């Protein structure tokens, strides 16, 4: 009898707990707040806005880009409102609605005057690699000073939502996902595997281990890389084998087709500069949706997805290359397949997608010069040696300059103070030197920005990028079409000009109407618009505005 009563009370206790759990789920379901099952942010690294239309006639009708343009809402005039326009800053801005002056991510790396050391944007030596043996996993979002939209989604659902970040680049996986992400995954070049950090978890989930076990990179390399269509049809590109293109696959590999079989099991880093990097990333995204059951619960989940390969191909071959065109044609196919997967797995109309870019890219100066368009390469590597000599002659020390990077000059502030030198005098020597260099349009001390006469657009961009303890002392602005470095080939980005700062922004899926706007909106508007659509708080450093037109 006693035993029977004991069993009865245990069963009641279990049923009570289950009822309580079901009640909490019903509250979430019956809250009356309409939300999508899943939010997917897709950032195409180094995608200029014009790529939507440059290859439009070659995109597939059932591919990705035409589907988004035709059925989604396109913000045709989306601009980045800060400099430098680089990967870490872009991914951070998209998901925080903030700018480097507030969120603290002032570049891919910077000299940290508080810590007196070089700092990589997501570097963290207090954590360890999960899933690999290299230091590539010693990363976290701790240098980010504000919350992301994923953090705010977690707060709004009392952390019942799941937020996952995925990208080949660590910074493109970590910074968008935010501080409270369930996990972020990025690529380890030495093994060809997806890895993570002990910041998030102690071991890779089984679904990630299973994905790594497929050795997809070897399978891709076995396919080699030839153009998707006959080479002669690539009329939107320069001829193959241009002299200013880098040759990542070997000195003799001057153009298509590229033999990738030789790298199987050897050089997994080369995945970056092939379109298979896109495919590899989308396959990981599908595995995450399935493995984590994203979009299958009673709360909205978020997947932040960055497509890194276009950036590597753009830097290596240039934006006008056959390689870049072929990459976007293949990306269109991969994107279409991924949207099909979302329709099948999550449900058509049940998920919200936005597609944008972290920055654009300049044309290769050598290419522009061929058509009499003024352009050039600023050999900034020489600035450091020459400035050190000038400063030593003038002030008696050759250690007053830290470095010249990310369009800024970093001075040794502590040494200047220790020696009792006049910083304004040092600034003047540096500025006077820079203004004599080819391609330099303006140079000025950042602490005198308010006293500097500049075009309003440029001045706003500089202001929004300036965080004193993580920024340099003197800003360099190059003339249009001039780029920093890359004098031996390829191209880069980072300035205020439209080719670097005009990006695509398309909304698609849940509660999104079809259409477009030509009014100027900004990268900072993305996060507050998501917050508006989800009825949650915008991130803590957000300065953007809601793009109301996107919603039905």
Q: How far apart are CA 116 and CA 11, in angstroms?
A: 61
Residue 542, C-beta contacts closer than 8 angstroms, at least 6 positions apart: 96, 97, 98, 146, 524, 527, 528, 531
Asked whether residue 71 carries a pLDDT value surpassing 60, the answer given is yes
Question: What is the C-alpha to C-alpha distance for residues 101 and 198, in angstroms, rounded to an integer?
Answer: 29
Q: What is the pLDDT of residue 28?
A: 39
Which segment, 21-25, 79-83, 251-255, is predicted with the most confidence on average? 79-83
Task: Please report which confidence band the pLDDT of residue 382 belongs to, taking 50, 70 and 90 as the band edges.
Answer: confident
- Where are the domains positioned within the chain? 47-72+145-347, 376-484
Question: Please, which pLDDT band fits residue 241 given cuts at 50, 70 and 90?
Answer: confident
> Under CATH, to which class is 376-484 assigned?
alpha beta
Confidence of residue 379 (pLDDT cuts 50, 70, 90): confident
169 and 308 Cβ atoms separated by less than 8 Å = yes
Catalytic residue among 78, 85, 87, 96, which? 87
pLDDT of residue 489: 84
pLDDT-derived band at 467, boundaries 50, 70, 90? very high
Q: Which residue has the higher pLDDT, 7 or 510?
A: 510
The reply to whether 87 belongs to the active site is yes
What's the fold here for domain 47-72+145-347?
Alkaline Phosphatase, subunit A (3.40.720)
Under 8 Å between Cβ of 90 and 43: yes
The residue to which tokens 């290596």 are assigned = 316
Q: What is the pTM of this model?
A: 0.94
């Amino acid at each position: 009898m006693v035993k029977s009563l004991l069993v009865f009370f245990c069963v009641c206790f279990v049923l009570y707990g289950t009822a309580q759990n079901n009640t909490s789920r019903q509250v979430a379901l019956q809250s009356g707040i309409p939300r999508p099952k899943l939010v997917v942010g897709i950032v195409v690294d180094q995608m200029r806005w014009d790529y939507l239309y440059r290859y439009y006639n070659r995109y597939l009708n059932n591919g990705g880009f035409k589907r988004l343009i035709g059925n989604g809402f396109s913000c045709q005039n989306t601009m980045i409102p800060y400099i430098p326009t680089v990967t870490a800053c872009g991914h951070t801005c998209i998901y925080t609605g903030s700018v480097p002056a507030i969120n603290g991510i002032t570049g891919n790396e910077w000299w940290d005057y508080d810590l007196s050391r070089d700092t990589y944007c997501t570097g963290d030596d207090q954590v360890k690699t999960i899933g690999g043996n290299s230091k590539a996993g010693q990363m976290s979002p701790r240098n980010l000073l504000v919350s992301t939209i994923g953090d705010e989604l977690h707060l709004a659902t009392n952390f019942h939502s799941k937020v996952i970040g995925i990208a080949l680049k660590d910074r493109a996986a970590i910074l968008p996902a935010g501080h409270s992400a369930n996990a972020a995954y990025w690529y380890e070049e030495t093994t060809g595997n997806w890895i993570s950090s002990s910041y998030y978890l102690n071991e890779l989930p089984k679904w990630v281990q299973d994905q790594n076990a497929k050795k997809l990179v070897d399978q891709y390399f076995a396919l080699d890389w030839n153009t998707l269509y006959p080479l002669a049809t690539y009329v939107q590109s320069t001829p193959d084998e241009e002299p200013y293109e880098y040759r990542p696959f070997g000195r003799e590999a001057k153009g298509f087709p590229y033999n990738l079989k030789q790298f199987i099991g050897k050089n997994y880093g080369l995945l970056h500069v092939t379109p298979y990097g896109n495919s590899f990333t989308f396959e990981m995204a599908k595995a995450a949706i399935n493995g984590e059951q994203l979009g299958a619960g009673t709360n909205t989940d978020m997947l932040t997805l960055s497509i890194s390969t276009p950036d590597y191909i753009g830097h290596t071959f240039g934006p006008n290359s056959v390689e870049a065109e072929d990459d976007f044609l293949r990306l269109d196919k991969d994107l279409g397949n991924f949207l099909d997967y979302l329709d099948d797995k999550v449900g058509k109309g049940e998920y919200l997608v936005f597609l944008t870019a972290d920055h654009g890219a300049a044309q290769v100066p050598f290419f522009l010069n061929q058509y009499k368009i003024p352009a050039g390469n600023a050999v900034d590597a020489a600035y450091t040696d020459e400035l050190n000599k000038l400063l030593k002659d003038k002030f008696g020390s050759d250690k007053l300059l830290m470095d010249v990077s990310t369009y800024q000059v970093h001075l040794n502030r502590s040494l200047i103070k220790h020696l009792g030198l006049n910083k304004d005098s040092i600034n003047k020597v540096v500025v006077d030197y820079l203004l004599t260099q080819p391609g330099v349009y303006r140079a000025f001390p950042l602490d005198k920005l308010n006293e500097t006469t500049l075009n309003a657009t440029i001045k706003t961009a500089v202001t929004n990028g300036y965080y004193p303890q993580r920024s340099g002392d003197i800003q360099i602005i190059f003339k249009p079409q001039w780029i920093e470095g890359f004098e031996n080939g390829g191209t880069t980005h980072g300035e205020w000009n439209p080719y670097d700062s005009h990006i695509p922004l398309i909304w698609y899926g849940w509660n999104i109407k079809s259409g477009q706007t030509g009014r100027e909106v900004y990268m900072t508007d993305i996060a507050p618009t998501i917050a508006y659509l989800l009825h949650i708080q915008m991130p803590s450093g957000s300065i953007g505005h809601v793009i109301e037109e996107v919603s039905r």
